Every structure is written in C-alpha cells, then in structure tokens.
Amino acid sequence: MSTAARLRRVAALGRLAVGYSRHTMSRLVRRGGWGGLAAFDALYRRDRISRLTPEERAALAGHGRCIACGLCTFAATRSGYLTAERLPLQLTRSLPEVWATRDLALDSLDWAAAQAVCPTNVPLGQIRDLVITRLEADGVLPPAPQLAPAVLPVPPARRR
C-alpha cells in the first residue's frame, strides 16, 4: 500500500471514529421508541417496496411452482390479457410491479377451477387475493417517477 493510500485510510478511519463518538452521544440522549418502520414506509411507498405479510411470505415459494403446462388457462378461460397462467408466470414475479395489473379484470376468471387442475398446486386463488389486496392498498397511486434530477443535488456542506 502506498503512503498516500495509507494516509487516506487513516483519514477515513479517523472520520469514522469521530462519527462513532457523535453517534454514541446521540444514542445516549435519544428518547422514545425506534419508529423506523414508519420512516421506511414514507421513503419507499412511491416505489412500492413494502412489507410482506407472514401469509404472503409463507405462500411466496408456491408462486414459483408453475411449470407453464397451461391447464389452468383451459380450465378458467381468459379475460383479455389475463389468463390464469400469466398470474404466477408473468404478472406477479415482481411485487412492486403488481400495480400494473390494475387494468385487468381479476374477478372474471374461475380461479377455483384453475386451481383444481394445477398439477403442481400453485396457490392461484391466494395469488389472486394477494394482488387484490395490494391493489386496494395501492389505490390510484401513480407509477413511481422515472425522473432523475436535472442537476445533481449539491452534497451537504462540510461540518465546520
């Protein structure tokens, strides 16, 4: 390691040490609870990066069991772009993108019939419920903005 690199490392560790002291002091005087989850939700609601319920977590592994045999689509017919098979295979692969199913008539398929013929027991009804629940929670929230700042933000001023 060069001398310059060593000096940079010393400076970096020194800054972190100062940060640690400041952090420790602030933890000592901090009052109240953690309150972090509310902050998390506020930061990422627009991106639809949200908490999973225990039920969703338990069911999620089953979403990947679809082998694209197409039997459910025969059993439940289709409604426009929506087929039973597409729900696990395409439309719910990314939960933050589930909002984009809101133009589909999810109640128009016979999910029980679709579920009954599935050879790998994909929980189609449960997935449909998950989507409905998330759409209801989402309301009419518009898509997350693609905008990047036209001019990059100025970094915070150095502490004196």
Partner 1 sequence: MITSTSDEALDLLVVGGGVTGAGVARDAALRGLRVCLVEQRDFASGTTWGSSGMIHGGIRYLEHDWETTRISCLDSGYIKRIAPHLLFPVVFLVPVYADAKLGIEVMEVGLEAYDRFQPYKAGRPHVRLSADEALILEPGLNPRGLVGALTMDEWGVDAARLVVLNALDARANGAELRTWTEVAGLLRDGSGAVTGARVRSRLTGVEEEIRAAVVCNAAGPWAAEVCAMAGVELQLRPAKGIHLVYDRRITNVALSIEAIDGRGLLLVPHAGTTLLGTTDDDHYGDPERLDVTEDEIEYLLQATERVLPSIRQHRIAHATAAVRPTLHRWSRYEDDLSREYEVFDHAVDGAQGLVTVAGGKMSMFRKMAEDAVDAVVRRLGRGLPACTTHRRPLPGGGSPVDVEDVANSMAVPLHLAQRLAGRHGDGVWALLREAEAGDRGTVVCECEGVTRAELRHSIRHEHVERLEDLYRRVRCTGGACQGMRCCWAAAQLMGAERGWSPARVGDEVRAFLDARWRDRPVVLRGVSAAQEELTRGALTP
Burial of 110-119, coded b for 16+ CB within 10 Å and e otherwise, reads ebeebbeebe
Q: In the chain, where do the E strands start and end?
A: 78-79, 82-83
Nearer to partner 1, 75 or 83 (CB): 83
Residue 66 or 76 with smaller CB distance to partner 1: 66
Nearer to partner 1, 13 or 112 (CB): 13
Q: Which residues are CB-contacts of 39 (< 8 A; sequence separation ≥ 6)?
A: none
Tokens 């025969």 belong to which residue? 74
Question: What is the binding site for partner 1 (CB under 8 A)?
Answer: 5, 8-9, 11-13, 15-16, 19-20, 23-24, 27, 33-34, 36-37, 39-40, 43-44, 47, 49-54, 57, 60-61, 63-69, 80-81, 85-86, 89-97, 100-104, 120, 142-143, 145-150, 152-156
Q: Measured between alpha carbons, how far is 134 from 97 in angstroms, rounded to an integer? A: 10
Minimum distance, C-beta of residue 145 to partner 1, in the bound complex (Å): 7
- Residue 50 or 77: which CB sits closer to partner 1? 50
H or E segment and range at residue 25: helix 3-29
In the complex, the smallest distance separating the C-beta of residue 64 from partner 1, rounded to whole angstroms, is 4
